[in-house]
Amino acid sequence: MRKGTILMKKCFLTMVLLLVMFSFALPCAAADIIDPILLDEPNEKVFGCKNDIFIELMQKEIISKVASGRTAPEYFILFPAEILFLVDDTWEGIDRTSFSLKHTDADGNETFYPLNYAISMMSNLKVHWPLFSKPLKFTDLRITNLVFNVPYELDGWTLVFRPTERGAESPYCEIDVPLNLR
């Protein structure tokens, strides 16, 4: 009976040691999940601020009359973007005002166009991607479709990404991403 008790204690101790070793390995595994957006740096498609929030355009941006089955009053500019959230805090989602397009004409005049929130969210629901209202936590990697109502212009576009927590008054930072429509 004593040998059985000693054997059980050894097995229990081994299991505890394995659990402790496994728990130390978890942060490394989480880093492996997040790194793809940063692995191919330097990458002219990856833009970041404060080494906390990064954005990458996943596909070439397009200009179209239709998005998610809806017709634009003029045109839509649409594209998917990947956002890597490394802020050591939890946000109550991201505010829709975090995204806008800036158009600079030949004379240097700037016009801003807000995100078409309804069409963006419809397109995200179609592919089962999280909406802006979902909380963001440390090491969050999100893909989202962004859709903007714009006039038909091919040159002079910039995505202005000012990540702002839902309900916050000021953005965390600002990232300007030049677009290349063709």
What are the pLDDT digits (tens) for 35-83?
445 545 557 778 998 889 999 998 889 999 988 888 999 999 999 999 9
Reported confidence tier of residue 103, pLDDT bands at 50, 70, 90: very high
Q: How far is residue 92 from each of residues 109, 138, 150, 168, measured CA to CA in Å?
A: 35, 12, 29, 9
Q: What is the predicted pLDDT for the residue at 132?
A: 87
Residues 6+ apart with CB under 8 A from 66: 72, 76
Count CB atoms within 10 A of the CB of residue 5: 9
Contact 54, 37 (CB under 8 A): yes
List the beta bridge partners of residue 76: 64, 149
Cα–Cα dist 47/58, whole Å: 12
Cα–Cα dist 61/155, whole Å: 12
Q: What is the predicted pLDDT for the residue at 181?
A: 85
Q: What is the predicted pLDDT for the residue at 128?
A: 85
